Structure 1
Amino acid sequence: MTGSTISALRPIAALAMGIAFTAFAAPAAAATITITVTDLRSDEGVVRACMTTMEDVFPRCARDPNSHRTVVRADDTITIRFENVEPGDYAIALLHDENEDGKANRVLGMAPREGYGFSRDAPVRMAPPDWDDAVFTIGSASQNLTIKMRYFL
């Protein structure tokens, strides 16, 4: 090969190496969040779990298209995993939907009839907890959390 041919090939070789290195670059950091749910009063129904980054929709994650949500059968102890969770600030809400009707049933329209739980064991007073009481930060490392179910009745 002549010197001019080698010079012409250098940009192509550099581009090919750049593509090769990009293909093997580490993926964006994403964590696994493992939640152990305790103190269910029965193994009836399901536990609905959601995790959101949106303060204005918490604890009703259905309005967040990017929320992590799942439904698992109720049991003595439940483990829930959310995979590929991007770093950020999140809050978790759980509902023990004992009659599996998809909603949080209430007594006299106010007090919850079914169990509930929130990240950071956020307190429930006369309404669902504030975002600031439930929010926690997820980085690139996986985390294990425990959420205790609570029942008003």
Structure 2
Amino acid sequence: MGLILLVPILGNLLFLASARAGLNSNLTVNVDGIKNQSGKICASLFSKSKGFPADSKKALQSECIEVTEAPQKLIFKNLKPGNYAVALIHDINADGVLNSNSFGIPTEGFGFSNNPLVLTGPPKFNDSAVLVAGSNTDIQIQLQYLLGR
């Protein structure tokens, strides 16, 4: 008798687990520290280290939006549960690249998921990776401006 009652319960648990695995998630990125409302915020979402953070052509998704408010919000939709990293720039002159001076120091704002400390170069994928699970994952990225723009 106990086994007869256990079979439907196990069946329901397996159904719920498989249904949950098929759900896609959204990643909401809240961008803080925007210094001015010029240009665009451009974000690239990576699911692996290849290309991260600079090669947006290797990104899973990329998006640029006009700066309209602070904090600014971007949403990456229909993601499978897993680890992702976001690289973004405040593209003040809207030319599609992170501009830098003759010493290679960025002249526009930039940021990464997990807000890793940036001293001598961009972070690695694993330093910026966040777990996306459930229907929506919210993260905050603080823009950094090295030359005060």
Quickly name the TM-score band, shorter chain normalised. 0.7 to 0.9
Segments ≥4 residues shifted beyond 4 Å: none
Match of 2:56 in 1: 62
Find the aligned partners of 2:48 and 2:55 in 1 and give their Cα distance.
8
SS in 1 for 2:114: helix
Alignment of 1:3-152 (within 5 A): 26=19, 28-64=22-58, 67-74=60-67, 75-152=69-146
Find the aligned partners of 2:81 and 2:141 in 1 and give their Cα distance.
20
Question: 1:89 Cα shift?
Answer: 1.3
Find the aligned partners of 1:88 and 1:61 in 2 and give their Cα distance.
21
Amino acid aligned to 2:134 = S
Find the aligned partners of 2:128 and 2:146 in 1 and give their Cα distance.
19
Deviations 1:30-82 (A, max 9, x none): 101111111111000000001111202100242326x1211111132211011
Please say which structure displays the higher CA radius of gyration.
1
1:30–1:141 Cα contact (<8 Å) kept: yes
Amino acid aligned to 1:101 = D
Find the aligned partners of 2:63 and 2:122 in 1 and give their Cα distance.
20
Q: Which residues of structure 1 form unaligned runs of 5+?
A: 1-24
Task: Normalising by structure 1, report the TM-score.
Answer: 0.77
Task: Normalising by structure 2, report the TM-score.
Answer: 0.79
1:45–1:100 Cα contact (<8 Å) kept: yes
Find the aligned partners of 2:135 and 2:55 in 1 and give their Cα distance.
23
For these two proteins, the number of residue pairs brought into alignment is 128
Q: Which residues of structure 2 form unaligned runs of 5+?
A: 1-17
Find the aligned partners of 1:37 and 1:139 in 2 and give their Cα distance.
20
